[in-house]
A and B are shown apart, each in its own frame.
Chain A
């Protein structure tokens, strides 16, 4: 069921809709719009029906989701894209092939046969192909429930492909490695007495900032051993936030899988570094014993919600920013008017500049909260108001 619906044209502020949608994960609003699929704006003469409808929502999501090839421009067979390796863990073992074998198809029409198994790409998820195509020519077996929600029934292999996000992760990691080893070489070459120059001069304050104002400030004198971790997280998020602003790039930091891994690392570090005070706060709270059965599970959930919030914050901030920009550009196509372009571009430019700020801010917030969580876990038993203090810091960060 891939009808090109211009679901959003009915209601005006598209980006507000998308924004709310992402932040609240409100699936319901989409369904309501689906009912009204009249081509309102294309309500001209007969040829309007022949015009290829552009589904902005589809394009927007394609831009923020992970894909199996690095797409630059063009549609269908004219698309210009870099094929990326597909790695699948199937019941017949690992399967490798290039994403170009799908010929840019994401509707499950092109079947690739490897190791005796057949695969199709449906919405950039790789499934085992059905034996025969359905009525729309897709080798996908899907089922629609009474609400109109589609569930793909085909089994899927475990997908370890080098997707666009993974490719960008690797490229950005290589870039980080080259940048910082060259910075390290600069110290060796110029010695410590010459003031830093160029990249070194730009990055050194950031490194010192992470070391002093995040690690030392929030974790204390023991924080130095976390500095390499915090620096790696900070610069990995920062570089991918900035890369993500480039139109053809991947939305890695706006992918929940990426933020999940970083949040899990924070959780693991917090847990293994938890000192007596931290655990006593959880298992012997300062409260009457009668309410311990309620409080202790809450405290345990609290240890998980902190990194969970980290995961959602970075993901939602980056994704929302990208959606706003693409939606503003999409307005031109929704209204089918070139006169919208200046407005769209002006707003998109504004949001893009804001996104540069957000790129730095989110990297900073992620690392700052990570250091606060580690710091609060490593806290030595002293003043009673330390807990409140930590709470305030967290509140400020939001």
Chain B
């Protein structure tokens, strides 16, 4: 019976404890809220934010570095391409210069050859003319000498006339 009595008070909330719990709990909620939870939660939040910031900054730095690296690579590639281009251009220029020079040299050589040929032809003609003149002179001298010899006596002159007369056929 006594136990029954106790049991009843076990599940029967006492007014005193309800009153004090309400009072103390509300007071505790207010005091902790103001002097503990607010600064603690703010500090935790600030720290989380600072960690987040640090992480995102590090992330950004890493990204920047990667970008920089890729930029560098790009620049390197570009430089390499530029160099190749330059070399190609130089080679082309060299080739063209050489080709032109060759061309010019050929043309000069051709001109020189042509001049030389012309000169040779001229010299040849002159030489032939001279030769002809010499031949004529020589012929005349020979003819003179022959004539002199042929006409050295009367008989001979008569023989000749007769000969010539023979040839002249008076028809």
Contact = CB atoms under 8 A, between A and B. Distances in A.
A166 B6 contact: no
A123 B2 contact: yes
B105 to A, nearest CB: 82
A208 interface: yes
Contacts of A265: 25
A297 B73 CA distance: 74
B16 A34 contact: no
A117 to B, nearest CB: 17
Majority DSSP secondary structure for residues of B touching A: helix
A31 B5 CA distance: 12
A148 B31 CA distance: 49
Contact of B37 (A21, A22, A152, A227): A227
B16 A177 contact: no
| Chain B interface size, under 10 / 10 to 19 / 20 to 34 / 35 or more | 35 or more
Nearest to A150: B1
Contacts of A187: 39-40, 43-44
Interface in A276-329: 319
A258 interface: yes
Interface residues of A, number: 65
Interface in A223-280: 227-229, 231-232, 236, 255-258, 260-262, 265
Given A1-B1, A150-B1, A177 B31 contact: yes
A2 B10 contact: no
7 contacts: A21-B7, A30-B4, A65-B9, A181-B36, A187-B43, A192-B43, A232-B25
A192 B46 contact: yes
A150 B3 CA distance: 10
Interface string A200-219: 00001001100100000000
A165 B14 CA distance: 11
Contacts of B43: 184, 187-188, 192
Contacts of A192: 43, 46-47, 50
Given A184-B35, A188-B39, A261-B22, A177 B9 contact: no
Interface in B127-143: none
Contact of B17 (A144, A236, A255): A255
Contacts of A2: 2
Contacts of A57: 3
Contact of A163 (B16, B31, B36, B38): B16
B72 interface: no
Nearest to A185: B39
B7 to A, nearest CB: 6
Contacts of B5: 123, 150, 152
Contacts of B50: 192-193
A339 interface: no
Contact of A177 (B20, B25, B28, B39): B28
Q: Which of A27, A149, A169, A262 counts the most chain B CB atoms within 10 A?
A: A169
A357 B10 CA distance: 24
Contacts, number: 159
Interface in B9-25: 9-22, 24-25
A191 B10 CA distance: 48
Interface of B: 1-7, 9-22, 24-25, 27-29, 31-33, 35-41, 43-44, 46-47, 50
B3 A169 contact: no
Given A61-B3, A232-B33, 18 more contacts: A58-B6, A159-B15, A160-B15, A163-B14, A166-B16, A169-B21, A177-B28, A177-B31, A177-B35, A181-B35, A192-B50, A204-B44, A228-B37, A257-B13, A260-B13, A260-B18, A261-B21, A319-B10
Nearest to B29: A232
A180 interface: yes
Contacts of B33: 228, 232
Given A160-B16, A192-B50, A58 B10 contact: no
Contacts of A160: 15-16, 19-20
Given A161-B16, A208-B44, A261-B22, A65 B6 contact: yes
A211 B41 contact: yes
Contacts of B27: 173
A96 B3 CA distance: 29
